[in-house]
Each structure stands twice: as C-alpha cells, then as structure tokens.
Amino acid sequence: MRVLGIETSCDETGVALYDSEQGLLGHELYSQVELHAQYGGVVPELASRDHVRKIIPLLTDLLQKTGTQREQIDGVAYTAGPGLIGALLVGASVGRSLAWAWGVPAIGVHHLEGHLLAPMLETPAPIFPFLALLVSGGHTQLVAVRGIGQYQLLGESVDDAAGEAFDKTAKLLGLGYPGGAALARLAEQGRPEMFHFSRPMTNRAGLDFSFSGLKTQVLTTWQAQENPSEQVRADIARAFEDAIVDTLVIKCRRALQETRLQRLVIAGGVGANKRLRQQLQALGKSLRIQVFYPRIEFCTDNGAMIALAGCLRLQAGQSNTLDFNARPRWLMTAIDETYQAKSP
C-alpha cells in the first residue's frame, strides 16, 4: 500500500509518500520559522495562510521527485489534530479532497500517534511493546505502547511541556526564536555545575512532570547577576538544560522499572537534544534495554510520520467518512472512536 501523508498542525508544512513494502519513498518539508521569528512565536492566522500557499507546490514536487502517478496512490493520511484549528483544516481539506478525487480512502491521523511511531521509519525499527517518551513543545508524556491504538498514558506534564519550558526560558535569557534550539546551542558553551536548579517532582512517587517552576528559578538567578557576561548566560542555560534532561531520565528509568518494558522510544522535537540522547543512551546501556530515536529531521513535525501512521491504520481497514473533522484538542485514548471499520 502506498500512502500520501500531509502534516499541517502548526508551523511546518510536510508531505511524504510511504510504501508498506518499500518504506519511505520521499518527503518534503517547509518550515515557517522565518515567518514567525519577527513576532517571537507562531501567529496562527499567518501559519494557516502559509500552509495554503505551500501545500500544493510541495505535493507537486514530491510526486515529481518520486516519479509517482496519482493512480499509484492507495490512500491519503492527514493530521486531524491536535494542533492549530486553521492550520489543521488546510491539510484536512486538501487531503480529504484528493482522496475523494482519486477514489481512495482517507484517514485523519492523531499528531501524537505520528510522533510515537516515527522511530519505525528507521532501521532497525522498534517492535511492540515499548515505552515512549514523547517530549515536544506542546507535550511531555510517558506512554506504554503495546500496538497500534493501544496506548496507556503513564504520566504527563501538569503544566508546561519540556519544549515549552525551553522556549520560555530562552526568552527570559534574551535568546531568539525558536528559543529551544537557541538555548540548547548556548548550553553547549556552558560550564557544568556553575549553577544548580531543582529536578521537579523526582522526590515523590509517580510519573508526572512539572517544568513551570524551573522558569522562575532561571529568572531569579538571571536577575541576581550584576552585569552578567555571555559565559554566565551560557552557564545558566547549561544548568537549566541539565535539570530538564536529568528529570526526563529519572522518570524514564522509573517507568521502565515499573512496566518492565525492554524498549524505549524517544519522540518529539526535544528528542533532538544532544544531551538528552546521550543520557538516555547511557540509561539504556545501564538497564540493558534498547533505545530508539527517529532521525533528527523526523523529531519535529513532518509528513513522513503521518504517512506511516496512516498506512498502518488503512492496512487495518480503518478510514474516515467524507465528513472530516479537525480537532484542536484530541485525546489519544479517543482516537479509534473517529474511524469507521472496513465493511465485512
């Protein structure tokens, strides 16, 4: 089965072709970072309009580069949520319309399911069951994944997601947009142990996270400095990054020990963080478990993960009706309620 995937949940326009036998055939991605940088964050209306401008040219390029004719496409997958409602509607309307015109089934994919399955684009790919750490700008979750649609939420952030904390802390330190990546780069120049921030919620039972308090600690520390140098700024960034990474690793260790799962999957934009990857790799070695990551370009939003997730769902006989919906909020536990089963 060959599936076209479309991703437009926020500020990246992504398209991809995935073949159930040949794997990923190709993908195209356009980032709106430069568009939103002047505003210091994503402007939803501008994001939606840019998706409208970019999606058809990207689709045309993808089909040309892969030498794919529309008759060769067996299904269309698009991100149906969660995300920015206007941005989601662009991809959903284009995806549903193409599927109708081509006479093939269409399926709305849950954005987080795409991230959870993204490491399956790699070789070797993880097999079920596994523990997933989904860590991005909008979500920080630990999920036990036992199969397609079989997701058990073990813990999540009660306030800011890790990526959100990175972005907000970067803004406090006067860094540019996107802040998380800028802070991580600055942290590479920082000296370890020059400052110390707490590892929130690690001294109590449970697998939930809380990162909002770290922002306050950074702000207090930064304001207490008299004429701080760039080195001091880097040292504070390093201390903040260490606090985030240590917290994530501690909770992953706890979740692995509680579930006794033997595979750990890292997904989401913060999964590209070098220090986090190093520490989780060390954790895997100490516990003698396998650790899987998507390639860096598939940590952030992309069409490839949507094409893969859609292909797996369509192969299982699931699809959506013509009455498609975009969902700005969508629980993973309610994914299957939106699909119609294949007729017997």
Q: Which residues are annotated as a binding site?
A: 111, 115, 134-138, 167, 180, 273, 301
- Give the whole-angstrom CA distance, residue 327 versus residue 89: 9
Strand partners, 26: 17
- The residues, any chain, with a CB within 8 Å of residue 158's CB and separated by 6 or more, are 208, 209, 210
Dist CA 185 CA 201 (whole Å): 26
The answer, yes or no, to whether the previous bond of 124 is cis (omega within 30 of 0) is yes
Instruction: Report the C-alpha gap between 163 and 123 in whole angstroms.
Output: 27
The DSSP letter of residue 79 is: E
E strand spans, 111-194: 130-135, 140-147, 150-156
Buried b (16+ CB within 10 A) or exposed e, 155-171: bebeebbbbbbbbbbbb
Tell me which DSSP letter residue 324 carries.
-
Q: Which residue has the tokens 């662009």?
A: 90
Please tell me the distance from the alpha carbon of residue 82 to that of residue 60, in angstroms, as a whole number.
Answer: 26
Annotated binding site for Fe cation: 111, 115, 301
Q: How many residues can be counted in the chain? A: 344
Which residues does the annotation place in the binding site for substrate?
134-138, 167, 180, 273
Please name which of 187, 170, 185, 219 lies closest in space to residue 40, comparing C-alpha atoms. 170
Q: What backbone phi and psi angles, to 5 degrees, belong to 307?
A: -65, -45
For the beta carbon of residue 126, count every other beta carbon within 10 angstroms: 19
Q: Cβ(236)–Cβ(190) under 8 Å?
A: yes
User: What gap in Å lies between CA 339 and CA 344, rounded to an integer?
Assistant: 15
Give the pair of three-digit tokens for residue 258.
Answer: 């509680």
